[in-house]
Chains A and B, each alone.
Chain A
């Protein structure tokens, strides 16, 4: 234990003497949390719409007003022909074209049915698909209103759906992204800093001087793990403060649960970093190997896409990365207020990852080659 104290003193001195690392510790959570959630916004707004109204009736006017008032669309042009409207799509000035045929109102009143044409620019897939379905929803709604106004009774058997978004009432993307960025922060610190630190000792040759001392393997590994764990917890705390200050996101769940999970997660990721360092011999190699895995971790973790909608084989890989489980629980705790019992399986998973990765690193670290 005494030896460990000397190792820790040395590691802390070295970390806190490095001004770049110190600056990064504060800059990383702040900058990433301010920039990323704003940039990673999948809410579709400002869909540009070109309108071709051949009818010029009060119904068509009502429909256009309704679309304009929905807040999602910006009517950028009203043209006389469909061909002309299409040039707006070609010039990327419009995402959608809505064509209202002549006789729109009269057909609706007389025959009770009318077709509308919607053309979508499918180059920006998300915007097109979501914009198209928004427009459909607005038109359906309009359809219902005119039936009522026209005194027609609602046909029986129509299911009317209403949605409510729980835990994130306005379905705002930032609530979804901010916890994920917190995970990103811990992953970067855990995955890279420990790996690079040990490999740097290999490059400098100081690891040989360590290996020739009677330091035990676990003392050395703990000596590297604890300081970065402390750094990780500081960064996480700063991240929570920024999330609260900038986005008003204050965890609904208990801080004890949140920190417990974060603490175990950091140990797991630091173990990953240590493992990388035992297999690599210089910082460039360590960087590439760590980057390769962290990239897979991040992309498959459900940070950007839902794990549930991945193909079965991909889900298996996703579940084999600690990041997936941590993103899930941190969203549950921060947004939903889940308690430790609700996340007990994920907690156990993370404990398992921590034990396997660190155990592997200790076994693979050799003082004698």
Chain B
């Protein structure tokens, strides 16, 4: 049996009368690329924030990397990486300083930070830009750097919230190469996206509609199930049922 790194059962987040996340249940296997799809306002980000220990659930159960989302948020945080929708490296720090800071707060030893940084900058081709302010980099590079920083401390799971929004197709392709490399290194990838071609890259995908999980399977099985040619059509069939308006 495969090791489960995320287990979610009837997880719910309620704001007053509004169910942002309504009894969602799923399991994520170690090392898989798990796609989390849904229209704007479907509840993807809220669900992800609960799993990252940023938000308290209202009811239901969930464990991430073996830790409970109600009581052990700080233990979860040691074992995950997170890249939010909003770019959130420090723009007034240089590339090197950002890497050093985030490596340091995750407890990566100083010598190790140095070693990994050199490696990382070479891989990204950013060695010449190491001392530039992050704010001055083009968006594509920023996103690649943010992802690299999110997995710098070798977490068990990395959560990516729309990581390729606004990025050109070539960079997106490179970004997915990085995701594959990380998955090959044993990091579980939990990713939300709006690009259906990216959904095809995932091992399994869930599609959320109005706070509920409406579909969960491999892209191939989903296409068969909805007798569709591509993920775009699958998504369209499901998202059309939505009652909520997007934001």
Contacts and interface: CB of A to CB of B under 8 A. Distances in A.
Interface string A354-369: 0000000000000111
B87 A205 contact: yes
A57 interface: no
B220 interface: no
A212 B90 contact: no
B88 A214 contact: no
A205 B86 contact: yes
B211 to A, nearest CB: 18
Contacts of A367: 53-54, 73-74
A2 interface: yes
Interface string A206-233: 1011111111100000000000000000
B107 A209 contact: no
Interface string B60-91: 00000000000001100110101010111111
Contact of A3 (B52, B56, B100, B107): B107
A9 interface: yes
Contacts of B100: 6, 9
Contacts of A204: 86, 88, 91
Nearest to A10: B101
A10 B90 contact: yes
B107 A208 contact: no
A368 B73 contact: yes
A2 B87 CA distance: 26
A213 B105 contact: yes
Contacts of B125: none
Given A2-B107, A6-B105, A213-B105, A206 B82 contact: no
A3 B92 CA distance: 20
Interface string A295-312: 000000000000000000
A2 B93 CA distance: 20
Tell me which of A3, A204, A210 has the highest count of chain B C-beta atoms within 10 A of its own C-beta.
Answer: A204
Contacts, number: 78
A212 B105 contact: no
A144 interface: no
A45 interface: no
A209 B89 contact: yes
A39 B186 CA distance: 69
B73 A215 contact: no
Interface string B208-242: 00000000000000000000000000000000000
The secondary-structure label for the interface of chain B is: loop
B110 to A, nearest CB: 9
Given A3-B105, A6-B101, A205-B86, A212 B52 contact: yes
A14 interface: yes
B55 interface: yes
B93 A14 contact: yes
A274 B80 CA distance: 28
Contacts of B56: 368-369
B102 interface: yes
A258 B93 CA distance: 36
A247 B37 CA distance: 69
B105 A208 contact: no
Interface residues of A, number: 26
Given A6-B105, A10-B97, A369 B55 contact: yes
B88 A213 contact: no
Given A13-B93, A14-B90, A17-B92, A212 B53 contact: yes
B54 to A, nearest CB: 6
B77 A212 contact: yes
A7 interface: yes
Contacts of B73: 367-368
Contacts of A368: 53-56, 73
Interface in B91-132: 91-93, 97, 100-102, 104-107
Contacts of A213: 77, 102, 105-106
Interface string A246-281: 000000000000000000000000000000000000
B141 to A, nearest CB: 18
A208 B52 CA distance: 11
Nearest to A7: B105
A5 B26 CA distance: 40
A206 B105 contact: no
A326 to B, nearest CB: 33
Given A13-B93, A13-B97, A215 B105 contact: yes
Contacts of B106: 213-214
Contacts of A206: 88-90
A211 B105 CA distance: 11
B104 A3 contact: yes
Contacts of A10: 90, 93, 97, 101
28 contacts: A2-B104, A2-B107, A3-B105, A3-B107, A6-B100, A6-B101, A9-B101, A9-B104, A10-B93, A10-B97, A14-B92, A204-B86, A204-B88, A205-B84, A206-B90, A208-B54, A210-B105, A212-B52, A212-B84, A213-B77, A213-B105, A214-B77, A214-B78, A214-B105, A214-B107, A215-B105, A367-B54, A367-B73
Q: Which 5 pairs from chain A and chain B are nearest by CB? A: A6-B104, A205-B86, A209-B88, A212-B82, A214-B78
Given A209-B82, A211-B54, A367-B53, 8 more contacts: A2-B107, A6-B105, A204-B91, A205-B84, A208-B54, A212-B54, A214-B106, A369-B56
